[in-house]
């Protein structure tokens, strides 16, 4: 009886673990989609800032945009590596893993949120400058 109960408990725990791993995988896939969106945002912002007359404040925005692009590229590469770590675990291969998987998840999530927030901040600033630039041109 104890062997049957232990087997059922282990099967239940394995099922729960597999469900959790699948959720991690799906969230990481969503992150890749978020990064793809960020890629198009960065392209748009680069085009917009490239067409502006560059003032001192806008140079700072361009520098921040360059930093965001570098962070984006590194983050995208790390997220793909994370997905590759998760795939064999979900495919029911008996692979060993440790808390590092969760620590990596937390770190990637934090970095993604930071990059998206930074992009939004720069985007708002670029739009404000472009509005003021248009208003100044129309006043002239």
pLDDT in tens, 6-35: 443 444 457 777 888 889 899 999 999 999
**12 belongs to a structural domain:** no
Please tell me the least confidently modeled range out of 11-20, 41-50, 124-133.
Answer: 11-20
pLDDT score for 6: 43
79 has pLDDT over 70: yes
pLDDT score for 121: 92
Range of the domain at 77: 20-139
123 vs 18: CA distance, rounded Å: 39
3 has pLDDT over 80: no
56 has pLDDT over 60: no
**115 belongs to a structural domain:** yes
92 has pLDDT over 80: no
**2 belongs to a structural domain:** no
pLDDT score for 53: 59
Largest CA distance in the chain: 89
4 has pLDDT over 60: no
Closest CA to 105 of 84, 82, 87, 88: 82
**3 belongs to a structural domain:** no
pTM (predicted TM-score): 0.73
* Average pLDDT for the chain: 79
65 vs 107: CA distance, rounded Å: 21
Residues contacting residue 88 through CB under 8 Å, at least 6 positions apart: 95
**10 belongs to a structural domain:** no
Number of structural domains the chain divides into:
1
């Amino acid at each position: 009886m104890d062997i049957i109960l232990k087997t059922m408990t282990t099967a239940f725990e394995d099922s729960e673990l597999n469900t959790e791993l699948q959720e991690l995988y799906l969230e990481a896939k969503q992150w890749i989609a978020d990064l793809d969106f960020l890629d198009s945002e960065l392209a748009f912002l680069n085009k917009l800032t490239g067409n502006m007359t560059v003032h001192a404040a806008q140079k700072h925005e361009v520098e921040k945009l360059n930093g965001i692009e570098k962070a984006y590229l590194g983050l995208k590469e790390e997220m793909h590596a994370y997905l590759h770590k998760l795939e064999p675990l979900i495919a029911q291969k008996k692979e060993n893993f440790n808390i590092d998987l969760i620590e990596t998840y937390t770190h990637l999530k934090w970095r993604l949120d930071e990059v998206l927030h930074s992009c939004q901040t720069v985007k708002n600033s670029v739009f404000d400058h472009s509005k003021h630039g248009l208003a100044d041109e129309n006043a002239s």
